[in-house]
Amino acid sequence: MALETWLAFFVACWVISLSPGAGAVASMSAGLQYGFWRGYWNALGLQLGLALQIAIVAAGVGAILAASALAFSLIKWFGVAYLVFLAYKQWVALPSDLDAGATERPSGRPLTLVLRGFLVNASNPKAIVFMLAVLPQFINPHAPLLAQYLVMGLTMIVVDLIVMAGYTGLASRVLRALRTPRQQRVMNRSFAALFAAAAGLLATVKRAAV
C-alpha cells in the first residue's frame, strides 16, 4: 500500500471512529460503571467485533450479506434487540452512594465486558455494508490483497482503541463528579436513553438496493 493511500485511510479511520455510535456509547457506559481500566475491556471486545467485520469483508462474505435481505435483517434485528437489552440493564443499574463511603465500583468481569463490546460491533450490519463500500476504495487490485487488508485492519483497530480509550477515560472521570445515588441514576438513565436511541437508529437502517 502506497504511503499516500495509507495516510488518506488513516485520516478516514479517525473520522469514522470519532463519529458517535453504539461503540462510543458502550465505551462511555463501561467507563462510567467500572472505571477506566476495568471498563476498557469493553473496548477490546469492540475491536474483536471490528476485526470480524473486516475479515468478513476481506473474505467476500460481506457482499453476500449486503445482497441477502434475510441475512441483513437477522443481524440487524439481533443488534436492535441487544442494544435494547443494554438500555434496560443501564436503566435498572443500581447507583452506589459515594458520599456514604462506598469507594468500590461494580466489578464487571473482563470476559463479560469483552463479549458485550464484541456483540455491539458484530451485530451491526450497517458497519459491514459501510466497510464493503469504503475499504475497496483504498485497495490496489494489482497488489497482494491479504497484506493490504491486514494493514488496513490493524490501522482501524489501533485508531479505534485510542478513540475508545478517550471515551472510556472521559466517562470514568465523570464518575468522580457523581457523588450521590440520584446523580448516578440520572447518568445511568441518560446512557439507557442513548442505547435506546442507537437501537432506534439501527432499526431504521435498510439494505441498499442491488
Residue range 101-134, pLDDT digits in tens: 444 555 578 899 999 999 988 887 767 767 776 7
pLDDT for the residue 48: 94
Query: CA 139 to CA 133: how far, in whole Å?
Result: 11
Query: CA 154 to CA 126: how far, in whole Å?
Result: 20
60's torsion region: left (phi>0), alpha (psi -120 to 50) or beta?
left
Highest mean pLDDT among 87-101, 161-175, 195-209: 161-175
pLDDT for the residue 101: 41
The helix/strand/coil state of 59 is coil
Query: CA 61 to CA 80: how far, in whole Å?
Result: 22
Residue 100 scores a pLDDT above 50: no
Mean pLDDT, rounded, for 75-87 = 77
Percent of the chain with pLDDT over 70: 78
pLDDT for the residue 87: 81
DSSP state string for 168-209: HHHHHHHHHH--SHHHHHHHHHHHHHHHHHHHHHHHT--PPP
Q: Which contacts qualify for 42-45: CB closer than 8 Å, 24 or more apart?
A: 42/113, 42/114, 42/116, 42/117, 42/164, 42/168, 43/117, 43/160, 43/161, 43/164, 43/165, 43/168, 44/114, 44/117, 44/161, 45/113, 45/114, 45/115, 45/116, 45/117, 45/118, 45/119, 45/120, 45/121
pTM above the 0.75 mark?
Answer: no
Mean pLDDT, rounded, for 77-89 = 78
**What is each CA distance from 158 to 40, 93, 206, in whole angstroms?**
14, 31, 29
Amino acid at 163: V
- How many whole angstroms from its chain centre is CA 49? 8
Largest pairwise CA distance in the chain? 65
Query: CA 67 to CA 129: how far, in whole Å?
Result: 10
pLDDT for the residue 102: 43
- How many whole angstroms from its chain centre is CA 52? 13
Residue 71 scores a pLDDT above 70: no
